[in-house]
Amino acid sequence: MNAFHIADVVTVFVVFVMGLFAVRSFSGSDAGMPQEGEMAPTFTLPNENGVPVSLESYRGQWVVL
């Protein structure tokens, strides 16, 4: 095996392990998910133009998540 091939194998292994962790984190219970009627946690995400938008900026208004 040459060094390039070993690097490819290591990369595939790392991606595989990360995928397992991702699946495991989403397959658990919904204990962290807000239930209907509960307050949503504060978060900030980019809009379609990449500008950060915070849920906090909509306080007191109706918001559908």
What's the average model confidence in pLDDT over 14-24?
71
Q: Which tokens belong to 39?
A: 């307050």
Instruction: Tell whether pTM > 0.75.
Output: no
Q: Is the model's pLDDT at 20 over the cut of 60? A: yes
User: Band of the pLDDT at 39, cuts 50, 70, 90?
Assistant: confident
Q: Which of 56, 34, 32, 33 is nearest to 43 (CA)?
A: 56
What's the average model confidence in pLDDT over 9-32?
69
What's the average model confidence in pLDDT over 30-57?
84
How far from 21 is each of 13, 16, 17, 34, 38, CA to CA, in Å? 13, 9, 6, 22, 28
